[in-house]
Amino acid sequence: MVYNPPMNNTKKLSKKNVSKILDLLREEYPLAGCALEHQSIFELLIAVTLSAQTTDVSVNKVSGTLFEKYPDAKAMADADQDDVIEIIKTIGMYKTKSRNIINLSRELVDKYEGEVPEDYDALVALPGVGRKTANVVLSVGFGHQRIAVDTHVFRVSNRIGLASEKDVLKTEYALMDILPEDRWTEAHHSLIFHGRNCCTARNPKCEGCVIAKLCRRVGL
């Protein structure tokens, strides 16, 4: 994971400048949102689980076929693992992921009547579901304000000065502290889009960045 920490860690960004950053990112990426294709909260859960250590584009290439054959928890719970592997084999860790999505579907059927629970602790107890996946499901699927820290959010937030941490969990807590709670979900999507399109891991496009003047690495 490549990122550049803020040049000046001694002073936190002011609330005014944090709001300016969020406003500028919102203007730059008005369509920022979940890029994983899904038609239900179950499909969202499966898609996010499959997206670990791979791209959303890669997941979208296989998820349509997967969901057409296994559209809900009951169908996925009864799936043959070899068949699931055949469908998702182009993404990384497909053996582990195929096992996890079948097993988590079985738990959904056994414990929650096939429905995805609207509860963080219940979600992270499912096979293959970590903190990031649970937060995305609660945010995108159920409308809760959450910050899911993926590679892009981790890199961008620490680079521009919203956080100054070396691990994902501490970064999440730092963002929860500095960002307005009613904009957590918005910030999550905006930071992802900014990380993909401008603030890339290598050779970030600082000269064309809309928040350069507010960035700890560049402007302040």
Residues forming the active site: 132, 150
Neighbours of 10 (CB within 10 A): 6
Q: Which of 186, 185, 183, 188 is nearest to 168 (CA)?
A: 188
Q: Which of 151, 186, 160, 215 is nearest to 26 (CA)?
A: 186
Burial pattern 47-69, b for ≥16 Cβ within 10 A else e, equals bbbbbbebebeebbebbeebbee
Which position has the token pair 């995305």? 136
- Name 7's Cβ contacts closer than 8 Å, sequence gap at least 6: 216, 217
